[in-house]
Structure 1
Amino acid sequence: MKKSLIRSACLATTFFVSAGAVAAQAQEAGDADIVVTARRVEERLQDVPISMTVFSQQQLTNRNIVSAGDLSTYTPSLTTNSRFGSESTSFALRGFTQEGPTSPSVGVYFAEVVAPRAQGTVTSGNGAGPGAFFDLQNVQVLKGPQGTLFGRNTTGGAVLLVPQKPTGSLEGYVEGSVGNYDLRRLQAVVNIPVLDSLRIRLGVDRQTRGGYLRNVSGVGPGNFADVNYTALRFSAVADLTPNLENYFVASYTRSNTNGFYPKMFVVSNPTGYRAANYAAQIASTSGDYYDVSNGLPNASHRSSQWQLINTTTWRASDTITIKNIASYAEFRLAEASNIYGDSGYEPGSSPAAYNYAITIVPGASGNTVAQSTFTEELQLQGRTPGDRLTYQIGAYLELSEPIGGFQAAQNAQFLRCVDILRFQCEDVRGRNTSNGAGGNLEGRVGSSSISQAKYRFRNLGFYVQGTYKLTDSLSVTAGLRYTSDLTSGLGESYKANFPAGNTPVFSCTNPVPLVQGGTSAQILADPTRCDLLRRVSSQKPTWLIDVDYKPAEDILLYAKYARGYRQGSVNVNSYGLETWGPEKVESYEVGAKTSFRGAVRGTFNVAAFYNDFSNQQLQVGTVACTAAELVTNPAQCPFLAVPTAGIANGGKSTIKGVEVDASITPFTGLTLDVGYAYLDTKLKSITLPAAPVGFTALTVPAPGGPLPLTPRNKYSITANYVLPLDESVGRITFGATFTHQDSSFGSPSSAPQYQWLPPQKNLNLNLNWTDVMDGPIDVGLFVTNVTKERFYLMTLGQSFGFDAFIPNQPRMLGARLKYHLGR
């Protein structure tokens, strides 16, 4: 805690000392073209040899993009893993996904700083959480490895959230939204030029919405997939001298919802444990597509994040700029949920009984994730006279540590618990006779597992990248980064088994290796006897070689080769699969960016790519020993294991495809935007490690098939028409977007017939009237999923005999009213 306070104080002091200095006026940019920062400097979008999609704040608003899942709807090649709901969504880009506790494959940056670290029992943090999409300058989706300038864990690409920077004008806005499912949203932003040398900006985004998943069990919340967050942001720019600028951003977000809930839809193993119970639960939710059945009384999802970012920019000369970017953030999550959607329903019981099945609740610390992240980056940007050579040199440090003590999660399988944290539970074997005497899962004993962990990450990187103009039209870019990663985890995992009645028997979850182990009484008195320490270190270079040619001002042709790298890591709460190494990708890409003017205006950008992916980090499912195997093969099954999942290196894949982004204005008032992505992915081979002791097999996707979440075709078509009205009326724009993506592979742990996700299509409409009657009022109407399409976003199969899925959002509609000052 002392380190946290010191770092926070340093960042805050840097800004407030800066705020008192006298400085020169900022120079306004006169370039009307879209400006992006994909190469860590400001450039015209059409001059950057990177395949990318950019959304302005107005485009985000028109499309009602308020979450990571919304962003993926409109972005070719970008999909999301919504396994744990919209608040914990992770990005997948060009076939590169984040599975379970692995590090992200798509880096998310806010104000040039990577998202705070978070590693827990469920996917969380590391991305664009609640409240991330308000008061932005733009969002830039960079496709392909970005390992030179942005570092490791960007094998798929990067998503850059660029906040609105304070300006020299007194301006701001207040915006309110209402809609179905009791949508209420209030945004307010004010920009104040305190002095010629000091400008500040304050913003708040508050949104609530009822959940669209209706809980029919009568246990716990009445609905799931609700929204309830508050996001605050303060930023300031202080000009210390005409050549020295300090930019400070402080943000805070808090979300408190019921969480997400999968919908069980089929008994995939009719002879398995509790088949009748599963069938009864499915019947109870058959009334409506969005009905679910919860069994956890205190189901909830509570997260908070605060972050300080301080950027100091010194223009040392006309050709040298030095920039320092420092940040500190803390992320916390407390998750309580039935993660597979099994409520534990018992038909015929009086009163109706709901049991813990596969659940997660916060442990004694109160947090399932609690992690701090400190970053420090020093950049030198330079150019030679005449701009023949431009270059960047940088050093990067990232330190992430646990906050306080252990982050903890406690889960229960096949128990009814009055107080799970105090082990006041009852084995439920005798309450079901559908599977013979005893009725439990193949003889397994009900249990409660306690998983406590502390994770530490250290990342050190050095990079250099430069562009040399061979001629006025032909340039060569080369970049190199050297990265050193060290990840460590201290785990303390033990289990309370209930072999008979209500008396727990304690044992270490991980039988080998242990610090000490011991008897049930010893472990209960001293859980440190189950401590397990794991470390993974790796050092890897990444690089980029790019050649781009401009035969004309509005045409850019490029070809590049890049190496991407994603770090290895640890999960000390996953028995037998606690560590995995880094993965790498060799990427080849050619592309063209064109723009045309005149009576018909527009842009046409295309990229084709091929990726060779090796040492791939795969999510591996485990098949536990059955009671029969315990008898026939006791050496392999020293204890009754519960099926779980882990990460292992062993995959080789190819990823190839084509991306198109185009925009055309055929006549005044009408603009058409088209985005298209074709993906062809193939898991070529798998080499698996040996199954951990206590398990008889490992399950993975079948070689020869596609990678998860990679639809073959995905496209979006947006049309915006501005009515030809006099300026005194205002600007009225009708907009419509149609999106489609093909069926894609989902989860290999599902039954074979449910592993593929269905095609997805959406029609979204919006109407925006800005400057109503030449006044400071804007009005907007929006409808998403107009035709009420129904499809599932992910399947959740597992070894207990059923499959569940994550439903898509129903039709959402609403209206916005905005008052703006100073525009």
Structure 2
Amino acid sequence: MMNAALSSSVIARLALMAGCSVVAVGTAAAQTGSSASKDTSAAQTPTDATNLANPMADIIVVARRSEERLQSVPLSITAVSNAQLSATTVTTGTDLQKLVPTLNVGVSIFGSSQQYSLRGVRTGVVTYFNEVPVSTSAADLQLWDLQSVQAIAGPQGTLFGRNSTGGAVLFVPQRPKDEFGGYVDGRIGSYNLREVTGVINVPIADVLKVRLGVQRTKRDALTKNISGPDMNTQDRTVVRASVLFEPTSWLSNYTVFLYSHRDERPLAQISGSDGVVVSCPTSIPSCVYGATYNEELLDQHARGIRTVSIPLDTRQYDEPWLLTNILSAQAGDITFKYIAGYGGNKQDQFTSQLSIALPVIVGDNESKSRQHTHELEILGSMFDNRLTWVGGLYYWKNRSNSLNRYLLFAPAGTVLSDLTTQQTGGIDQQISKAVYGQATFAATDRLKLTAGVRYTKDKQLTNQVGYSPGLQCNLPDFPNVDLTTCHQRITSTSDAVTYNFSVDYELSDKVLVYATTRKGYNAGGFNANINDPKLEIVKPEYIRDYEAGVKADWNLGLVPIRTNISAFLSKYKDIQRTTSLILDDLVVTGNFNAAAATIYGGQIEVLARPVTGFDLQASYGYLQTKYDSFDNPLVGNLTGNKFAQAPTHTLHLAGTYTYPLSVGELVANASYGYTSSVTFADDNITTPGNTARGYGLVDARLSWNNVAGLGIDASVYVKNATNKKYILNATDRTTPFGFVSRLYGDQRTVGLQVRYSFGDR
């Protein structure tokens, strides 16, 4: 593996080469500026990067908790506008990974949650909706009527609500507008897809504006089940309401409420031995089920990836909701903000972890959660705006109650009950408190220095249960256990000081170079159900990040071009990983400080308009992620293994052509997204089934906007046009169970979408 010194030299050369090439062709234009004292609760809609009049128009982001031009922020940020979300038919989180370099969105085999990974860091990416942390499952259901999605790569150890080691993904909803308007959108497509979205914007008075929306989606199954209900269906209802109250020029209150209801059949985990005969004692299930187990796996291999045999009434139920409120008051050059959030979710998933008719591993996972956040923020400027600053206090509390019941190697036909299942779960609670501050000083008209620091204190508590079949307590000798209830109570606390330092310099009015270093941290924790005090508490993990970049708007002849380039190096230590140990002659699984790593890479994003009406977009991300050290006593030394959810190469190419008509306009978009080989587990050198081959997806869309001047947009689209088979998750359990399970992405789908808009939509 490349050592740190060599990695640093590579980064320096990348940044220098990027800077030299941009400076050579950069031309002067509008002055770059920032507005750190502006209130983000009044954030504008980001100007679409494919704006017909000016493809290089400003894009407004809130990466530093204030309105700033994307090109003036010394951070690696990808902003996906509402127009781009529509043009590329983004409907799920996994669609987003085609648009954001180094982003990988993993689909969990347990429930509907997704795991966002940026720059290879998957346990430290926080998703936000209207500036409040939100679960990935809730965000995945809200990919409609948005202003933008903004992905900020790298540790967020200063300004954002929760500390994170990987980055933040911001979902920014459309705000209520001054004029009456709205739209009705209908979509039909493959597998009997039916979707209706309705949005109305009502300015009740000059000081009070309301925006209401609802979306209803249904789709038949994508996976046939020959012994039970078909799987991978869609049946969801999503509601959002926004209210903007501005009684004076210095006071505003912005409230957003969202609610989602999903009651579907989950994705099927396609299991098999890849046509290989497995037997006892190599395969433990073969010892339990005999030859039937091997026959079932071979039958699944013959069925292919779109047909299963699961004799269960599987289900996937989610009911996330969130209420956010941003109260803002301005006094001179100082703005006060109070950001509050309160939400929760109810989830239930019942499915088999194999796609065969034997109850090898069948799980019923239920949970309820509540969270609330409070953040007091003060923004200001001094010395004729040469010094801008922000400071604040933050509080976050999350409480969940879960019950997980599993059938393990049960006889065929066994029904879930207290007498047959192994059960875990209980109450978990996390509390995070923080104080932070950050300031930017304009040393000259072109040179700016930024420094930020944050102190965070976290507390986690669990009250866990552990039962064997028949409700027999399996925690008799563990510490902190109440044997009358079979509950184990553990508490852990951790704290950290994190920081951000950056310098940026405008080489010209259109060329910005920057360098930054940041420290991020994830809170420590504990391991319930492990009878060893030394392994009970998990230490925090830390990451230090070094980044250099160039942002430039320039011209190649008459062709306007925007290039944003960055390179980074991260030192990651005390990495928390779920792994297994041998303890008292038993195999136990938990979360441990198992590893250290050096991560490096870079990304480039390009926007160009070769001819009038034709826009080209391209992005490329490069990652190198291998463990410097990773000791697993069960499977051996994992040093040198790649990170899970960290593809080396990510590429996106898109072209959009707009042709004006006398009665509207035609817009054609085609895109290609490539993800190189990716692994889904940290043990991947000796378990090839944990790794999926690289794949490329082709999407296309053709729209006739404002048909006959009637406010009607009609579109046809295709997703995964080449019907590529690709994997969203994989688990290699060849040893000792004799199978590999895989979750596959959707096959080719086509659709027709019609939208009628009225007023100011």
Which of 494, 502, 519 pairs up with 1:563? 519
Question: Corresponding residue for 1:667?
Answer: 611
Alignment counterpart, residue 152 of structure 2, candidates 130, 142, 161: 142
- Match in the other structure for 1:490: 463
Contact 1:151-1:483 within 8 A present in 2 as well? no
Task: Confirm or deny that 1:331 pairs with 2:345.
Answer: yes
Contact 1:453 1:572 (C-alpha < 8 Å) held by counterparts: no
CA contact (8 A) 1:660 1:677 kept: yes
Asked whether 1:106 is paired with 2:115, we answer no
* C-alpha contact (below 8 Å) 1:309/1:326 kept by paired residues: yes
- 1:814 correspondence with 2:751: yes
Match of 2:295 among 276, 280, 304: 280
1:708 alignment counterpart: 644
User: Aligned to 2:155, what secondary structure does the other structure show?
Assistant: coil
**What is the Cα deviation at residue 787 of structure 1?**
0.7
Q: Distance in 2 between matches of 1:587 and 1:771?
A: 47
The 1-side partners of 2:182 and 2:294 are apart by 55
Q: Which residue of 2 aligns with 1:357?
A: 360
Change (3 A) 1:277 1:293: farther
Q: Give the Cα separation in 2 of the matches to 1:460 and 1:264.
A: 44
SS in 1 for 2:95: helix
Instruction: Find out whether 1:256 has 2:263 as its counterpart.
Output: yes
Deviation at 1:43, TM superposition (A): 0.9
Aligned-pair CA distance for 1:805: 1.2
**Matched residue, 1:439:** none
For the residues of structure 1 that align with 2:606 and 2:574, how far apart are their CA atoms?
35
1:322 aligns with 2:344: no
SS across alignment from 1:95: coil
Q: Structure 2: how far apart are the matches of 1:36 and 1:621?
A: 42
Q: Quickly say closer, same or farther: Cα 1:30–1:211, change in 2 above 3 A.
A: closer
Question: Paired residue for 2:623?
Answer: 679
What's the CA shift string for 1:212-262, capped at 9, x where partnerless? 22223x13x22x222221110111111122210010111101111111221
In 1, the alpha carbon distance for the partners of 2:720 and 2:210 equals 38
Q: Describe the SS at the equivalent of 1:284.
A: helix
1:93 corresponding residue in structure 2: 118
Amino acid at match of 2:78: T
Between the aligned partners of 2:588 and 2:316, the Cα distance in structure 1 is 22
Q: Report the counterpart of residue 450 of structure 1 in structure 2.
A: 423
Q: 1:533 aligns with which of 489, 492, 509?
A: 489
1:477-530 alpha-carbon deviations (Å, 9 max, x no partner): 00001000001000011112xxxxxxx48242574236354xxxxxxxx5x0x2
Give yes or no for contact 2:481–2:489 (8 Å, CA) kept in 1: no
Identity %: 28
Partner of 1:618: 577
Amino acid at match of 2:178: G
User: Is 1:298 matched with 2:313?
Assistant: yes
Paired residues for 1:639-658 under 5 Å: 645-658=589-602
Which residue number in structure 1 is paired with residue 354 of structure 2?
A: 341
Helix, strand or coil for the counterpart of 1:96? coil
2:674 is aligned with 1:740: yes
Pair 1:506-2:441 in alignment:
no
Give the counterpart letter for 2:454 in structure 1: R
- CA RMSD in angstroms, aligned pairs only: 2.3
- Partner residue, 2:696: 761
Partner Cα distance (1:38, 1:265) in 2? 45
1:17-72 CA distances to partner (integer Å, 9 max, x unpaired)?
Answer: xxxxxxxxx99899852111111101111111111111111211221211111111
The aligned amino acid for 1:108 is T
Distance 2:69 2:305 in 1: 45
3-state SS of paired residue (2:320) = strand
SS in structure 1 of the partner of residue 737 of structure 2:
coil
Q: Distance in 2 between matches of 1:415 and 1:326?
A: 47
Q: Distance in 2 between matches of 1:621 and 1:779?
A: 54
1:211-226 equivalent positions in 2, closer than 5 A: 211-216=221-226, 218-219=227-228, 221-222=229-230, 224-226=231-233
- SS of match in other structure, 2:481: coil
TM-superposed CA distance for 1:565, in Å, is: 0.7
Match of 2:433 in 1: 460
Q: 1:792 and 2:727 equivalent?
A: yes
- Report if aligned partners of 2:334, 2:381 keep a CA contact under 8 Å in 1: yes
Amino acid in structure 2 at the alignment position of 1:652: A
In structure 2, relative to structure 1, the CA distance for the partners of 1:129 and 1:570 (3 Å cut) is farther
TM-superposition CA deviations, 1:380-406 (whole Å, max 9, x none): 00001421000001100112224xxx4
Report what 1:66 is aligned to. 91
Query: What is the match of residue 3 of structure 1?
Result: none
Kindly indicate whether structure 1 or structure 2 has the higher relative contact order, using CA contacts under 8 Å at least 6 residues apart.
2
Change (3 A) 1:333 1:505: closer
- The AA in structure 1 aligned to 2:450 is T
**1:265 lines up with 2:272 in the alignment:** yes
* 1:124-163 correspondence runs (5 A): 125-126=135-136, 128-163=138-173
Q: Deviations over 1:786-811 (max 9, x none)?
A: 11111222221233221111112211
Q: What is the total number of aligned residue pairs between the two structures?
A: 695
C-alpha separation in 2, matches of 1:391 and 1:513:
48
TM-fit CA distance, 1:206: 1.2
Q: Do the aligned partners of residues 729 and 701 (structure 1) sit closer, same or farther apart at CA in structure 2, a change above 3 Å counting? A: farther
Question: Equivalent residue for 1:45?
Answer: 70
The correspondence of residues 506-525 of structure 1 with structure 2, limited to 5 A, is 506-509=472-475, 511-513=477-479, 515=481, 517=483
Task: Determine the structure 1 residue equivalent to 2:385.
Answer: 387
C-alpha distance 817-85 of structure 1, shift in aligned 2 (>3 A): farther
Provide TM-score, normalisation by structure 2: 0.87
**Where in structure 2 are there 5+ consecutive unaligned residues?**
1-41, 48-56
Q: What is the distance in 2 between the residues matched to 1:191 and 1:552?
A: 41
Q: CA deviation at 1:278?
A: 3.7
CA contact (8 A) 2:645 2:678 kept: yes
2:138–2:320 CA contact under 8 A, matched in 1 = no
Counterpart of 1:513, as a letter, is: P
Amino acid at match of 1:409: N
Q: Structure 1 stretch 563-572 or stretch 459-468: which is displaced more?
A: 563-572
Amino acid aligned to 1:171: G
Q: CA deviation at 1:292?
A: 4.4
- CA displacement at 1:274 relative to structure 2: 3.7
Matched residue, 1:23: none
Alignment-derived partner of residue 478 in structure 1? 451
Judged with a 3 Å threshold, the aligned counterparts in structure 2 of structure 1 residues 805 and 647 are, in CA distance, closer, same or farther, namely same
CA shift, 1:151, in A, is: 4.5
Tell me by how many angstroms 1:575 deviates: 7.1
Q: Is the 8 A contact 1:561 1:589 kept in 2?
A: yes
Compute the displacement of 1:620 (Å).
Answer: 0.3
The answer as to whether partners of 1:749 and 1:797 remain within 8 angstroms in 2 is no
> How many Å apart are 1:569 and its aligned residue?
2.5
Match of 1:411 among 389, 406, 411: 406
Q: TM-score, normalised by structure 1?
A: 0.81
Question: Unpaired runs of 5+ in structure 1?
Answer: 1-25, 99-104, 116-124, 346-353, 363-367, 426-447, 497-503, 518-525, 625-635, 689-696
Describe the SS at the equivalent of 2:593: strand
Shift of 1:376: 0.4
- Give the distance between the partners of 2:343 and 2:423, measured in 1 at CA: 27
- State the SS of the aligned residue for 1:70: helix
How many Å separate the matches in 1 of 2:234 and 2:489?
38
Q: Which letter does structure 2 place at the counterpart of 1:621?
A: S
How many angstroms apart in 2 are the aligned matches of 1:269 and 1:579?
39
Which residue, out of 583, 590, 597, partners 2:548?
Answer: 590
Name the structure 2 match of 1:375: 373
CA change 1:573–1:821 in 2 (3 A) is farther
Does the residue aligned with 1:809 lie in a helix, a strand or coil?
coil
Structure 2 letter corresponding to 1:551: L
